[in-house]
Structure 1
Amino acid sequence: MRLVNRTFDEIEVGQSAELSRLIKPDDLYGFASVSGNFNPMHLPNEDGNGDGKAESVAPGMFVASLVSAVLGTILPGPGTLYRKQTLEFHERAHAGETLRCTVTVMTKEPDGAVTLRTEIRREGDDALVVSGEARVIAPRKKFDRDNIEVPGLVVQRHRHFEALLERAKPLPALPTAVVCPTDPNSLGGAILAAREGLIVPILIGDPERINATAANMDADISGFGLLPAENDLAAATTACDLVHEGRAAAVMKGHLHTDDLLKPMLDKTRGLRDGRRFTHVFVMDVPGQPEPVMVTDAAINIAPDLATKMDIVQNAIDLALSLGMEPRVGVLSAVETVNPAIQSSIDAALLSKMADRGQIRGGLVEGPLAMDNAVDLGAARTKGLKGGVAGRANVLVVPGLDAGNMLAKQLAFISHAEGAGLVLGARVPVILNSRSDSAMSRLASCAVAALHHAARSHG
């Protein structure tokens, strides 16, 4: 960014400067975080006055800060110091609107003070939003630099999950077998999803423990189905039976080991096999990314062979399509070239060719790709990689469970992502939450399951 000021000697009465800015929802969150003003009227997803709508009103001082931006960067520019500012607010500005701030020099005084008329108008209808006067001390020394850098800010909100929840809420609530919800996290997640209209829980397990957990949470579960089971394995088997009977359209993991949950589902006679291998997908909402990012497989297949990876890719593509995404699958390896000594690079190349030949359908598949050139266009161009996936991948297929688990947790704990977990390849979606999942992650997992079920139901 280049900044050039106008010194006191260069300033003339009548000179003016202007700056336009689009108000984005993230701007309002950022201002709330920095200023400490958490008035719900100014938060994009909050109902500030009880009318059931999010007002997204830009705070007055945020709007007025546009005046400071013009004074500090254009006229007079770098070196300017405020002495006084008057403000009169005429209209409210909202997220999604573009404001134009104009300052005009009114007077100059021998002591270096400059008075400027300031106004902010809304582009489109030219409505006057703010008017006032600024009195500043203008700089005496010339400033002209083009190496000014300001670090970018990433607002840690999960707008992709918010959008998925909004898409899932109009769908019929999904009858869901919740297996062993005997701790506050798993039972609380089911209750929260039911409250949001995403699922209708059918609780399976030890009734005494489930009721005791609900009582400790001061939660009312009298409206849910409650089926007894002697142990974890019996509870998981009951969930499979409910699916076969058409009483459950999804299964949710409670307080039991994943192996115990999946074992009855893999049974050849009473299980839920659907022709493909069971695979796991993390749908990650990474702050700053333009769309959700999928990581697969990070929870079930430890060291998948080529046939298993084919199902991993196809299951992920199907889920991406269910969520309205355009699947761009990057098959990851340590390098972006085929190396006979690195099996993951060979598998990636074969998967890419299988997609070219129609053995994998519904999305673009490219590999091998290293992590950097899978998700960063600059890195992809540096390596001379072309095509629709390199630098733009939204489905990341990892070589094995170790790599997938590490990648997902790095995104969660370093990049502040939220993750929704789902097992695919069964007759119904299997919601796989962990004990450390937040409320948003649990809701998002149910929303993803509901959207995937709806898409499969409609072919």
Structure 2
Amino acid sequence: MNDASGSDLNILRNRTWDELQVGDSASIERTLTLEDIQIFAALSGDLNPAHIDPEFANASRFQGVIAHGMWGGALISAVLGTRLPGPGTLYRSQSLRFHAPVRVGDRVLVRVSVTAREEHHRVRLACTCTNQHGMLVIDGEAEVVAPTERIERARTALPEIRLDVRGNDGLERLLSHVRPMAAIRVAVVHPCDELSLAGALDAHGSGLIEPVLIAPRAKLEAAAAQAGIDLAGFSVEDVPHSHAAAARAVELARDGQVEAIMKGSLHTDELMSAVVSSSGGLRTKRRISHCFLLQTPAYPRPFIVTDAAINLAPDLEQKADIIRNAIDLAHVIGVDVPKVAILAAVETVTPSMPATLDAAALCKMADRGQIAGGVLDGPLAFDNAVSIAAARTKGIVSDVAGQADVLVVPDLESGNMLAKQLMYLGGAASAGIVLGAKVPVILTSRADSRESRIASCAIALMLAHHYRTAPP
């Protein structure tokens, strides 16, 4: 018996008809990833929700996403075409029987073995796929025509494939979703540079907001002139400086004259000091916190990172409010039962790492009904929170791992770095919003794109309409 499993992976060598013997075998191993399923669906056009819709798949008899059956069949073809008999092989027929599903994170051993040599260089091979537990998931028989000439070639390097599950229409889909909602009045605080002024007026042009521009009139008009923007028809409130602009915005929100506040060209601390002031009238029983709503090509759904902008080093009770705010946002954007991953460097509770102790306590608070509306798990390292395969490899059994809707970070520094890495290196589209006050606060950065500013206003619009019937 000759096993070709250990051949040089950089060289493709075939086994000719004259060399083949009954009992010869070859194998490969592959670990199924979510990207494998998505690529196979894109190539085949098989969009069965059992393979690509986690919500549908979780409610099915399989209780989770499974691979297309022919993904395993394709791996059998790969062994026949590259290992045994190898290059030059002609496929004649293949029978397959499917015994068990293959799930994300499963490691599948694919083996073919020669069972018969027939006339006209035909060869029959038994084909099996078994998972990491030794369970048979697929078996069958292949008939091929074996090559008669020796072929040996360097393996071709394939281009890297990167899935853009977000597509190019994420903002358009968001705007389409909120289009039936009437625009809201928004206090735009000190929009005295081109970026913040243009961002507010772009959101107005998209039908999202009716801006009230609060700033020193001379500075505002100078910024408008420099940007070539006509302020005719827009409501302007003249105030002496940025502090006064923030205070006036809070006053308008407290009195119900605006339904949201939008940051302009002033520092975040200056605006938020006015919002959280005990005399401002916008505080609620909740701790104020920030949520980044992100969507990246590497993850199959939008998700929230919190808190990356307001709370520097939150304690346990503050983290509980951060989670409650994020759950509320998830509900507003259409996630009925958000899955909340509480992040730490490791997935085990370790007394020397306070973030893991907080995570465990927060999960127990959820068990006791102190945090409601979502499913919590933690501590979870980042890879386990977003990758089912990573979680399976580490033996983590969780309703959250690998499919989190909310990522709760230990502190502002780690959250800010995580969010910006996802944006700048991970190609994530983003929106930013502050929750916990009586009105949403649109907190954008000078570095944010036009799309990010508009998306943030769209999220504020959804929250403001929600607050009309369910005030925070």
TM-score by structure 1 length?
Answer: 0.68
Counterpart position of 1:242: 252
The structural deviation recorded for 1:328 is 0.8
Gaps of 5+ in 1: 6-18, 25-72, 80-139
Counterpart position of 2:140: none
Counterpart position of 2:355: 344
User: What is the rounded CA distance, in whole Å, between the counterparts of 1:233 and 1:247 in structure 2?
Assistant: 19
Aligned pair 1:313/2:323, yes or no? yes
SS at match of 2:371: coil
Aligned pair 1:407/2:418, yes or no? yes
Alignment of 1:145-164 (within 5 A): 150-155=159-164, 157=167, 159-164=169-174
CA-to-aligned-CA distance 1:120-175 (integer Å, 9 cap, x gap): xxxxxxxxxxxxxxxxxxxx987999998652223374544432222112211011
- Amino acid in structure 2 at the alignment position of 1:22: G
User: What is the rounded CA distance, in whole Å, between the counterparts of 1:22 and 1:157 in structure 2?
Assistant: 17
User: What is the rounded CA distance, in whole Å, between the counterparts of 1:20 and 1:264 in structure 2?
Assistant: 53
Q: Structure 1 pair 202/435, CA: closer, same or farther in 2 (3 Å)?
A: same
Q: Structure 1 pair 231/23, CA: closer, same or farther in 2 (3 Å)?
A: farther
SS at match of 1:177: strand
Q: Structure 1 pair 322/438, CA: closer, same or farther in 2 (3 Å)?
A: same
The structural deviation recorded for 1:274 is 1.4
Stretches of 4+ aligned residues off by more than 6 angstroms: 140-148
Aligned pair 1:22/2:45, yes or no? yes
How many residues are treated as equivalent by the alignment?
336
Counterpart position of 1:37: none
CA contact (8 A) 1:182 1:255 kept: yes
SS at match of 2:418: helix
Q: Which of residues 362, 380, 385 in structure 1 aligns to 2:373?
A: 362
Q: Which of residues 286, 291, 312 in structure 1 aligns to 2:301?
A: 291
Aligned pair 1:379/2:394, yes or no? no
Aligned pair 1:256/2:266, yes or no? yes
Alignment of 1:38-437 (within 5 A): 150-155=159-164, 157=167, 159-325=169-335, 326-437=337-448
User: What is the rounded CA distance, in whole Å, between the counterparts of 2:443 and 2:150 in structure 1?
Assistant: 63
User: What is the rounded CA distance, in whole Å, between the counterparts of 2:207 and 2:396 in structure 1?
Assistant: 45
The structural deviation recorded for 1:373 is 0.3
- Amino acid in structure 2 at the alignment position of 1:345: T
SS at match of 2:219: helix
User: What is the rounded CA distance, in whole Å, between the counterparts of 2:331 and 2:341 in structure 1?
Assistant: 16
User: What is the rounded CA distance, in whole Å, between the counterparts of 1:235 and 1:291 in structure 2?
Assistant: 37
Gaps of 5+ in 2: 1-11, 15-41, 48-80, 82-86, 89-148
Counterpart position of 2:454: 443
CA contact (8 A) 1:158 1:287 kept: no
CA contact (8 A) 2:433 2:440 kept: yes
SS at match of 2:348: coil
Q: Structure 1 pair 265/149, CA: closer, same or farther in 2 (3 Å)?
A: same
Percent of matched pairs sharing the same residue: 47
CA contact (8 A) 1:349 1:367 kept: yes
Q: Structure 1 pair 414/177, CA: closer, same or farther in 2 (3 Å)?
A: same
TM-score by structure 2 length?
Answer: 0.66
User: What is the rounded CA distance, in whole Å, between the counterparts of 1:212 and 1:259 in structure 2?
Assistant: 25
The structural deviation recorded for 1:392 is 0.8
User: What is the rounded CA distance, in whole Å, between the counterparts of 1:20 and 1:309 in structure 2?
Assistant: 43
The structural deviation recorded for 1:269 is 2.4
User: What is the rounded CA distance, in whole Å, between the counterparts of 1:285 and 1:399 in structure 2?
Assistant: 21
SS at match of 2:347: coil
Q: Structure 1 pair 361/252, CA: closer, same or farther in 2 (3 Å)?
A: same
Counterpart position of 1:52: none
CA contact (8 A) 1:264 1:271 kept: no
User: What is the rounded CA distance, in whole Å, between the counterparts of 1:436 and 1:20 in structure 2?
Assistant: 37
